[in-house]
Amino acid sequence: MKYDEFVKHVESVAQLNSREEAERATRATLETIRERIVGDEANHLAAQLPEELAGYLRGREGESGQAFSMQDFISKVSEKEGVDPTAAVIHIRSVFTVLQDAVTPGEFADFQHNFSEDYAELFPISPSSELPA
């Protein structure tokens, strides 16, 4: 999936008003993912994304992820994006949904294994078949 497609899908799924909002939501979510998951796993995820997005995930290779709760994850995205936590939840879910369609099923499963069960509500329930790969 190309960068423009990814951002367009985030904008659509999150029902945002502009490309800029979708780019902010995507950047804030990916940067927080980089903090949360093991650096090597973030690099594997980055390898399947366009370079413009991959850069938000790289830079922590060989490092462990930080253990923080789903509420902390939401707060971090909210602060980075400059939106309230309720909007951040919608944006995170949208980015996760588009990520699921942008990477291989195995890579998405590996990515999801980096999160504890309390994050379940942020992940898509089943593969989304509406978005083209």
- Compute how many other C-beta atoms are within 10 angstroms of the C-beta atom of residue 14: 21
DSSP, residue by residue, 12-57 = HHTT-S-HHHHHHHHHHHHHHHHHHS-HHHHHHHHHTS-HHHHHHH
Tally of structural domains, the chain = 1
What is the three-class DSSP state of 64?
coil
Q: What is the CATH number of the domain that holds 69?
A: 1.10.490.110
CA 39 to chain centre: 15
Domain of 27, in residue numbers: 3-119
* Structural domain includes residue 126: no
- Tens of pLDDT, residue by residue, the chain (133 residues): 899 999 999 999 999 999 999 999 999 999 999 999 987 889 999 999 999 999 999 988 788 888 889 999 999 999 999 999 999 999 999 999 999 999 999 999 999 998 989 899 999 875 544 444 4
> The dihedral of CA 27, 33, 39, 43: what is its sign?
negative
Q: Whole-prediction pTM value?
A: 0.90
Q: Are 38 and 16 in contact (CB under 8 A)?
A: no
Q: What is the pLDDT of residues 81-113, one digit of tens each?
A: 999 999 999 999 999 999 999 999 999 999 999
